[in-house]
Amino acid sequence: MGRLFGTDGIRGVANVDLTPTLSHDLGRALGHLLDARGRQVVIGQDTRRSGDMLVAATAAGLASVGVDVVELGVVTTPCLAHVAESGEFAAGIMVSASHNPADDNGLKVVSGGRKFDDEAEEELERLILRAESLPGATNAGLGRISRDDSWVEHYRDHLRSAAEGALVGLRIGLDCANGSASAIAPDLFRELGAVVTALSSSPDGANINLGSGSTHPEALAAAVLSEGLDLGLAFDGDGDRLIAVDERGSIVDGDKVMGICALARLAEGTLRHGILVATVMSNAGLERAVVAAGGRMLRTPVGDRHVLEAMERADAVLGGEQSGHIIFRDRASTGDGMLTAIELIRTVRAAGGPSLGELADRIPTVPQVMINSAVRHRDQWELDPEFASAVARAEARLGSQGRILVRPSGTEPMIRIMVEGDDAGEIEEIARGLSELAVGRLN
C-alpha cells in the first residue's frame, strides 16, 4: 500500500480510492492521535455529492472513539481553518479535493489553523492502518455529532474587518467554481458594498470546477468585458485560491497578484524585511520586479506548506503560488481566495489612480512553458540517464537566461516540465522535446 497522504492530504476518486471506510478509519485514528476524548473536532466540506457521505463516515469514526464533532456544512477551506484555530477545537477536517474534478474528493487535517506536518501525518497514517484494532467507546463514552452554522459568521466577521470599506461601489464579477465560495462570497461581497455579478454559483454536486473557477477563468473574463465590470475574481472549488481578471479582460494570475501587493507593501514599508516568498514555479518576471523595487524573493518547493514554513523562518508576511494560493500571514495562516481578493482590491484602491490592469503591467512575465507528461514512473526521472542528461544539456543551452524545473506531480501519475527563458520559441522547443522523451523513457 502506498502512502496515503500526498502534498495536500488524502485524495482520490470518491468511493473508489477514498472510501467511507477509509474516512471512518481516519476519524478513529485522529481521535487516538489527539487523545481527544471529550474534546471537539470541526468538519467542513465543499459541494461535491460525495461530501455528505464522507463527512458522515469521518464523523462516525471520531464519535466512535469519544470525540465530539461539529459539522459546518459547505464552507471554504480557509473558513474551516479559521474556525479550527479558534481554540474551541482540537483539530479540523476539510472534506474537499480543491480544484480537482467532481469525482475526486479529499481529506485534509488541520490543527491550529494549519495543515498537519509530515511527522504528524506519518503517525496518523500508521494509526489508520490499524484503525479497527484501536479501542473504542461504549454508549456513555461516545462522541456527539452536531451541526453549528454559527461558526461561519466568525469567519465572515474576519473578512468584513479586512475589507474596511474598500469594495464599496465596485462592479465585480465573481466566479465561484460551483464550489464552496458559492455559499459565502456573493452575499458577503454585496454586503461589503460591491455590485456583484455571480457566475458558476449554483452547485449541484457534480459541476464543481467544471469549466469554471480559478483554473478556467475564461467565462469570467468574457463577462467582465461584456458587462463593463471593474474587475473579476475567480475562486477554486474550496475557495483557497484566487485568479483575478482586470478591466480589459486579461488574466491576473497569482504571481501578478503577489507582485502588486508586494510592490505596494515595499513602497509603504510594510513588506516585513522586504521579503516575498514564492515557489520555484513563480515567474522570473515577478522576482525581477521585486528586486528592482528594493526587495528580495525567497523560493521554496511547490506547496503552500513549504511557503508557510519559509515565511515563518524568514518572518515574512506575504507569500504564495502562481496558482493563486496566497498567504497574508499578518491576517491568516493559510491561503484564502476571498481574503486575497479583498487585499488586492484594497491595494488597487489605495494606489489612487492606476487600474488593476495598469498595476499588473508593472509585473513583467518572462516566457514560460509548462507541460504535464503522463508517465508511470514519475519519481524516477533523475535515475534515467538519457532523460537526466537531456535536462542537463537544455540547462546548459539556456545558461543564466532561463530555468528548467522537472518535478513529479504529488497527486497524479505525471511529471511537470517547466521551461522559462526570454526566447519563447526556444523554450517551447526545449519543453516539447523533454516531454516527448519523458513519455518514451518513463513509461
Catalytic residues: 98
Scan for cell 496515503, then name that residue: 4
Residue 178: other Cβ atoms inside 10 A: 27
Residues 6+ away with beta carbon under 8 Å from 24: 57, 58, 60, 61, 64, 131
DSSP at 142: P
Find out whether 443 and 306 touch, Cβ atoms under 8 Å. Answer: no
Find out whether 318 and 276 touch, Cβ atoms under 8 Å. Answer: yes
How far apart, in whole angstroms, are the C-alpha atoms of residue 268 and residue 326?
20
Which whole-number Å values give the CA distances from 303 to 16, 63, 67, 297, in the listed order? 26, 32, 30, 16
SS3 254: helix
* 374: Cα within 13 Å, side-chain hemisphere: 0
Residue 91: other Cβ atoms inside 10 A: 23
Find out whether 242 and 283 touch, Cβ atoms under 8 Å. Answer: no
- The cell for 133 is 484494532
Alpha helices, H only, 269-384: 284-292, 304-314, 337-350, 356-360
How far apart, in whole angstroms, are the C-alpha atoms of residue 265 and residue 347?
9
User: Where in 96-230 does DSSP place strands (E)?
Assistant: 104-111, 114-115, 145-147, 171-175, 195-199
DSSP at 206: S
48 bridge partner residues: none
* 184: Cα within 13 Å, side-chain hemisphere: 35
Instruction: Convert 221-237 to b/e letters by CB count within 10 Å (16 or more is b).
Output: bebbbeeebbbbbbbbb
SS3 161: helix
